Amino acid sequence: MSRMVGRIVPATIFGVVVYTGLLFYGDLPSALASLRAVSLPVIAYALLLSVGNFAVRFLRWCYYLSRLQMRVPLGDNLLIFLSSFAMALTPAKAGEVLKSVMLKERYDLANARTAPIVVAERINDLAGLVLLSAFGCLELRHGVAVAVTSAAVVLVLMTICAHRPLGELMLRSLDSIAPRIGILQRKMPKVREAYDVLWTLHRAGSALISVLLSTLAWGLQCASLYIVAGATPDLHLGFLASMFVYSAPLLVGTLAMIPGGLGLTEASMAVLMMQLGGDHPSASSAAAVTFIVRFCTLWWGIGVGFAALAIRRALVPARPALSAP
């Protein structure tokens, strides 16, 4: 955990640089004026929508645990879930495996059973973002073709997780090359166990429920961008366009394995707003909206994560270390 936190510091410093650059995108006085144009109630609504995102994702987390017949006290489960938000600045949010670490430390739940839940979360987050991007680009030229292709990619991904014969075929392929890759050969039992968990989480309609929850969760974040952009005079984004402007850059930043998508996500979001935000949107307005939206989604979540970590450390005593025999 100390190593995970240590990796966040450089990413945070880089984030400060990115957002300072955003304010200078266009010109600083205009960017500051655009920031001031967004009222505090609008920012409060955006923060509440992010809280809705957290709530839906927590519901999905509880659903996963119930599918694996794991029972964790609700209060501590919520703190464990929220604590993982502090790890959002790790590549592809891999640091959210902190949830698995905490469950192992406190409740002796095997990492091999709980870590695949984090993998399932990432798979379904990607599926939700792909679907939102697909819906959002329906207004664009060739949008229908992109939407159909994106939906097909999600369907293939979900089928691999849910259809046992395909999964077994993939595992046999890995078995055939494992002898030539030492680390893969050592990890194959864990890989098989992880696939068993993923299959359990996605069979019998569970995949549909998970993807719907993921789409709803990230759709709430798209709504954050929609209401913030709507409070800026020279930006005119419809809701479908807002879905695309938010989800596509987030998807690109995630797939690029950049911590928190920093830099790439913000730049993509601002550029898309310039292209889709009406007749004459200013660079300063696009930068200001990007700044506010990323604060209300990414950085708000990180702050909640660190607060949950602190509360849990204060309320939940550490388990005593086992003495050596």
Does 6 score more than 70 pLDDT?
no
Please enumerate in sequence order all residues whose Cβ is within 8 A of that of 140, keeping only pairs 6 or more positions apart, or say none: 146, 244
Does 160 score more than 80 pLDDT?
no
- At 49-90, the pLDDT tens digits run 999 999 999 999 999 898 888 889 999 999 999 999 988 877
Residue-averaged pLDDT of the chain = 80
Which pLDDT score is estimated for 323? 37
- At 108-129, the pLDDT tens digits run 888 878 888 888 888 888 888 8
Which pLDDT score is estimated for 4? 56
Least confident of 233-237, 292-296, 301-305: 233-237
- At 247-301, the pLDDT tens digits run 988 887 777 777 777 778 888 888 888 888 777 777 888 888 988 999 999 889 9
Helix%, strand%, coil% for the chain, nearest 5: 85, 0, 15
The better pLDDT of the pair 23, 200 is held by: 200
pLDDT band of 317, cuts 50, 70, 90: low
Domain positions in the chain are: 2-282
Does 168 score more than 80 pLDDT?
no
In this prediction, residues 22-42 reach a mean pLDDT of: 75
Contact 235, 229 (CB under 8 A): yes
Please enumerate in sequence order all residues whose Cβ is within 8 A of that of 13, keeping only pairs 6 or more positions apart, or say none: none
Which pLDDT score is estimated for 24? 58
Contact 309, 56 (CB under 8 A): no
Q: Distance (Å, rounded) from C-alpha 144 to C-alpha 312? A: 47
Using N-to-C axis directions, what is the helix angle for 74-83 and 98-107, rounded to 10°?
A: 150
Does 161 score more than 90 pLDDT?
no
pLDDT band of 97, cuts 50, 70, 90: confident
The better pLDDT of the pair 228, 275 is held by: 228
Contact 36, 29 (CB under 8 A): no
Total-model pTM? 0.81
Which pLDDT score is estimated for 204? 62
Residue 128 is encoded by which pair of tokens? 């939700």
The better pLDDT of the pair 112, 212 is held by: 212
In this prediction, residues 149-169 reach a mean pLDDT of: 71
The better pLDDT of the pair 119, 311 is held by: 311
Structure letter (DSSP) for residue 295: I
pLDDT band of 93, cuts 50, 70, 90: low
